[in-house]
Structure 1
Amino acid sequence: MLEYSVKQRMNNRKTQSILATLCRPIINKISKLLGLPTIEHLEYQLYQKTEQLEQISAHQRAIYQVISKIRASLDLETIFRTTTKETCRLLGVERVSVYRFSEDWGGQFVGDFEFTEPSWDNYGKLGKNTIWNDSYLQEHEGGRYIHNETFVVEDIYKAGLSQCHLEMLEQFHIRAFATAPIFVKQKLWGILAAYQHSRPNNWQVSEVKFLTQVSAQLGIALQQAEQLAEVEQKAKYLRENSQQQTILFNLISEIRESLDFDTLCQTTVKEIRKALLCDRVGLFHFDPGSNYCFGEFVAESVLPAYNSALLHKVQDNCFGEQFAIQYQKERIQVLDDIYNAGLKDCHLKLLEKFQIKAQIIVPLMIGSTLWGLLCIHQCENTRKWTENEIRFVKQLAAQFSVALEHSHLLAQTRSQAEELAKTLDAFQEANYKLENLARVDGLTQIPNRRYFDEFLDLEWRRLVREKQCLSLIMFDVDHFKLYNDFYGHQAGDQCLVKIAQTAKEIVKRPVDLLARYGGEEFAVILPNTDENGASVVAEQIQSAIKDLGIPNYRSEKQIVTLSLGIATQIPLVDRTPQELILEADQALYQAKQQGRDCCLHFKILEKDVVNG
């Protein structure tokens, strides 16, 4: 039946061809009489339109290829080298370079990122840190580029350029150029430039559009690379900081494993009072920020007969203004009798408040900062302090200062360790989000091409071992370019989002994967699924998209439809996943050829070819 149908179509086409040949002269005469175009003229117009559409299609394929290569890497050098090389090849120009603005709107060509046709290598490289400060761009802070405009010159000698600009271009034998701005977020980063040396160049609209699209993708890639560099730098800093804090924490823990500030203070004052047989020993702490004029006793050991000094606020402006700097230099005050020490009345009144007759005052330091004072008081009567007692107090004060510093550092380290743990948790969360971002398509929020490739390779190797079927569905939107042209790119994006979300509701198995393959093309990986199972999923997707009823008055059916291609294999060691992709892609192409809005399986195509 199939063979008869094919032969019948071939006979009909032959008959139509003969009739067309016989009728052509008659139709041409009638057309001339009526003032209408001849068949030859219409055929020529059709040929021109076909060529134009093929050129547009080729440019679209080219931009998708370049974008895929840009997105395939997060390394800046690889991104720029790939971009300039592919842009130079696809535009057919002789040089493509990347120019970066500096803070003063001067700038230079970036590193070795340019690509030049071999015949023009000898005329110097723009891309080896060539400084090219354009006074106009500096004066106008980016000029036209700040407004996201391109600059296209077919012939520098017919463009009305200034003499200094001409001389700059002549230096590198540039005859024609097209430039497009590169934005990172909202900031003008630089310029992507295509140059022609040998002759003027009639830049096509599609070529300028291509250059603009590539520069936009460069900006996105730069932004992602900068974000990655920032995360890596932060991770490096956190690792180094963590190592340093861990060393410090362990060292302090070994020295003062069970160090407690309150215990340290109480033990110190108690033991000193017992050793010296004095009436009171107290630890006085200055209020931070008081310039050593205010403070209070935070610990003491005192005989019951005398008043407690604890929690009494003390104000001594003279100490802050005159004596604090001396105690910071390790001054010690030893008074055998406060009334024979030449003290001022205000100072005497302060000492009398605490019933003091004689005292030793020793500074307590945290590093080079005066933390407080160790105060030894004799209250019953005056006292002659011996050299041994003074030396003993100095040694104890030094040990307490060390312990105090350790205690302070321990508390600080614990606080920093807690903060570091929080920061590390935040970093891990940010790293997870960044990794997820690298695997998810920004528009449709489904897996992107990169994750598609990883997932397909993983499932292929698994099913090689299990010797089970692996199916792949490739589908894209019919007449999507016409849709974009008619409704605009924003509507086109919304259409792709709806299709992705609708297909996602159908591809529900955890082992399956729906991904955006590129542009308006999507792919579904179906592990452990045979031909029939894949056909069911494909038909469900096709039907669900039709049910959406998205209007497309530029297509025959006036709604958005899909064409789908299916391929199924049992993965083998000597085959690759790319063969499965190629089969599904061929099936998709055949579905397009047969009128779109249909679903074909690759094996069916093979049978058709055999029967044909």
Structure 2
Amino acid sequence: MFNHATTVTPLELKPAIIRHPLIVEPDTTVIDAIAQMSGVRACCLTTKSVDGRLDEMYLEARSSCVLVVEEGKLLGIFTERDVVRLSAQQCSLENVAIREVMIRSVITLYESHFTDLFSAVNLLQQYSIRHLPVLDDQEQVVGLVTHESLRECSRPVDLLRLRLVFEVMTNEVICAAPDSSMLEIAQLMAKHHVSSIIIIESRGSQTQALQIPVGIITERDIVEFQALGLNLQTCLAQAVMSTPIFTVKPDDSLWIVQDLMEQHLIRRLAVTGKEGELLGIVTQSSLLKALNPLELYKLAQLLEKKVVSLEAEKVALLESRTIELEQLVETRTLALTVKAEREKLVGELAAQICSSLSLQTILDTTVKQVRRVLGCERVNIWHFQPDWETVGVAESTDSSLSLVGERINDICFKENCREIYRQGQVRIVRDIYAIEMSDCHRQMLLHLHTRSKILVPLLCGNQLWGLLNATESQYARDWQESEVELLQALSVHLAIALQQVTTHQKLQKQLSDRKRIEFTLHRLNQDLEVRVQQRTQELQAREAQLRDLFDNATDLIQSVAPDGRILFVNKAWKETLGYSDVDLEHLSIYQVIHPDELVHWHKVMLSLFTGSMCLSIETRFLTKDGREIIVDGNVNCHLKDGIPIAARGIFRDITERKQIETTISQQVERETLLREITQRIRQSLDLQTIFDTACQEIRQVIGADRVGIFKFYPQSNFDDGEFMAESVVEGFPSVVAIRVHDHCFGENYSSLYGKGRFYVVDDIYDGTVTTCHTDILAQFQVRANVVMPLLCGEELWGLLCIHQCATTRHWQQSEIDFTQQLSNQLAIAIQQANLYEQLHQELIERQQAEEKLTNSNQQLGISNQELARATRLKDEFLANMSHELRTPLNAILGMAEGLQDEIFGSLNEQQLKALQMVERSASHLLELINDILDVAKIEAGQIKPDYTLASVAYLCQSSLTFIKQQALQKGIEVEVKLQNNLPDVLVDERRIRQVLINLLNNAVKFTPEKGRITLEVTWLCDNLSANDLPRQHFLRFTVSDTGIGISPENIKKLFQPFIQIDSALNRQYAGTGLGLTLVKRIVELHGGRVGLTSELGVGSCFMIDLPYTPSCALSPEITADDKTSLTSQVYSPTINERISLAPVILLAEDNEANISTISSYLKAKGYRILLANNGQQAIEVAKSEHPDLILMDIQMPGIDGINAIRQMRLDPNLVFTPIVALTALAMTGDRDRCLEAGASDYLSKPVKLKHLVTTIQQLLNTTKDDK
């Protein structure tokens, strides 16, 4: 068993040596040594693989000590315990050399002697050390051996499974309070020579105060403190301790300790009791105790004793099992004998029934034989009379008291048990004092000397004839199932005998009556023939009339005999219930009446047949296929000679009406609850109160076992969360504040719930729910559930969960719709609270921004003075440079032109070429100077566009003229695409042409031969501008080519002055790097924007968007003289003009949170706001102020939103004013009602504010266009 744990080969011992330990020189400072120890720890691995675990162990060992070596010789060792000792003494370690504090007498082990595991273990235990340096034969340091490395090398799996924690744990544990300082902790470690201190809290119990471990501080923590230079005296233990502390029980195996240490990369575990109190501590050193040879020997002896004990127990168990089997055979033999005797009794009784027609003989024989087989005190048979009084007709007993002829009138039986016995159920009573029954029934049984009984019904056809009763009078008795089965079998044969005898008696009576009647009829036949014929004709005619009347009636008409037989039904009755004439022959009214209505129906029949002439009744019938219908009508009693012979009734099917009434009632109740919850949401921002109230009322209305509101943890990817509120039926567990982790929810369900999907499950075990989800639901005893998403804006905030725990449940559509409506209301509450919190946060941030702005303005005031001086100097420089650079170039270009015209004499071809080269170079230099000066002037703000209305087509064609020749030379195809009906655009035509020429030149330059260039112009419209103000119109000029393309990392460099994307392009393609910079500056000067998409080897696409105003661009009345003033109006409105032009919006809302949120947002977007807190005030403000648009909340106090809209539309000044209806109900038909009342649009809460602004601006634009 212990071979692997104890016999380790030298080769297997090699990994126990930790190579490359930390080595320092004697003059190294203590602080540097501690820093090296801490630095090694920072590189520890966190993986749990085998190699990773070994690496972690090696790094732990290296970081726990340093070896002091000089000239290859080991002088001493400095460990974590030494750091603790120095910390406890409060020694200053700044300039202390390691030689002054190291341990000089070092216990070492030669690698050549390390051939046995126990030799190293004994050294560690003998000298109470944790580090054993290993040297080679030349006394050079090879490595270290520690407790951990020895344990990892031995891996005593079998041994650790057999040893328990209490055998090796340390009972005396050094502890400290959480408010102890780290200095006190270090002093405790040094004083008691321990490597860790357990942090405890005291907790009182019934007998004594318990020490509960809450954390642990180790030598490693002291080392880290010293490495960081922290103050031990001011830092408390509770801020530093590792928590929670990992614990084990005293009776856990050491294998569990080993596994926990490896899993969590720790060295120590606390040992706790049943109440969590601290009992001891187990460390790596404790595990090594299991490897002590003496301990192994003791364990072997103990195991040997256990084996002997188990062998003895095995023999005893086999002997006991043999005896049990023999007893079982005897028991089964006896049971088979009794069963055979009972089957014989049943057979004899069946034979006697077949051979005899004497009912009394059969009954007497039955009770005698039954008592003989059962061995009970008394067996008797009771017979029911027509009034349900019982009479004893047969009995077998040794008692002198006979119950034959005894009459019993049991009122309790008539009310409760008659129908039960009619259905063949058996009544078994072990002890009348041990079960619940009425006092009158118990008194009756005592009168009949009955303490325990079996009561089996005897049926004659479908009628309850009597009862077979076996009783004990003195003692309680546990009736066996075989005894019950015997009586049931006998009751079947007795039923046959009863039917047989009854039939025989009826036949005898019928024969006797027939002879007498035949004689009388023969005598009267002749006298009655004529009268009968006449009467028959009259009755036939009347019957035909009545039959026609009944069959044409839509009501259900019936006639029922006192015993329940159906005497007559009309056509509507048969069609409604689905029965045919054949079915009616054997049908009883009690088979048609719903089982739950039978007791009430019996009372009605009894009342009719005892004197009541007419009763109004509402009851339920069952159709032939099992459907339930509800009928309402009247019943009366048909008398003949004063004797009731039938109950007649006329009923009307009211099933549909009842269903409608029930539906309406439920709908009203749910709508009432919905409005109440909505009102609470509008009146409160306390989510917890809203959640608690909603859960309680939803559970009461729907009748579920649990209703809860679940919230996801942020940053959990929808896999974790907890229930914020719940309402649960007593008996089921609460789920509030329990962390729920569902690792498959975020991946499989969150996106669906985020889109508004919900889930309805009638049974979580029907296969539609994933296994991981089923396991979580089963923890909370859920069998069926409805889950609705709770959205905050477009984000999934949580879930509304409705649980049925007791059993499965089929959820009705009305319940699902109701739950969905409530989830929408709860989503409104959540978003409303979030919006309020966001608004509050925005106000705080705005205040902070204003403070920062004030400080920045002060700094800017100083900077502006310096900037003004720099700008003035820059302007002077640009003016001088423009003059000084252009003047010499003008002379060069003029002289070159004069020479080419041969003004100064004739030229040869070589001189002409030289002059052309001079002219081209000078022209290029002039263009470069112009570009540089243009960029500088634009940046300095010295260039103002000269705006004119320009034709887009002409602008494009005139720009293409400059590059057509170059494109033709390279065989490049140039294409122009202009969208139809493009307007003229108000731009600086020269500058924009400069932009297009620059882009087209670049396209030709970087497009290879046979390529393609496209110039395309389209118009586009942003949905919203940057501030959500009215939409912005643009003309987009696109220059695309099939050139070399640009890599993504080089795109950012394109628009910087004097930069091309790489040096290779500079050599291959000429250019200054200013063209695109100038393009960007000119376009931005026009209020436009520049875009670029490109792909290497495919081509590039440059886009410039120029803003334009349709009303100005298309106006035919603009003249050249008016262009400047028009541009000023379009692009430079003053602040006062913008305020006066801001639309006025009337917000009719009674909820303060909504008022604050919506009004603040709209004001920030440039709108002016009027407020009204109720419907009447909204009407008055609208009539007096004439707002541009009205936001009307539908649920308003006083006059609601619908009626307020109707009254506003009656005012001629408000007929065309846009009105947006806001409602939180989102009920079916709300939108149509709002629009019918006169609303221009309809939005359901929660309203997205950006969508609200879009709707407002669209309605305002539409109204402006109509005007």
* TM-score higher than 0.5: no
- TM bin, normalised by shorter chain, reads 0.3 to 0.5
Per chain length, whose mean CA-contact separation is higher, i.e. which structure has more relative contact order (CA < 8 Å, sep 6+)?
1
Larger helix percent: 1
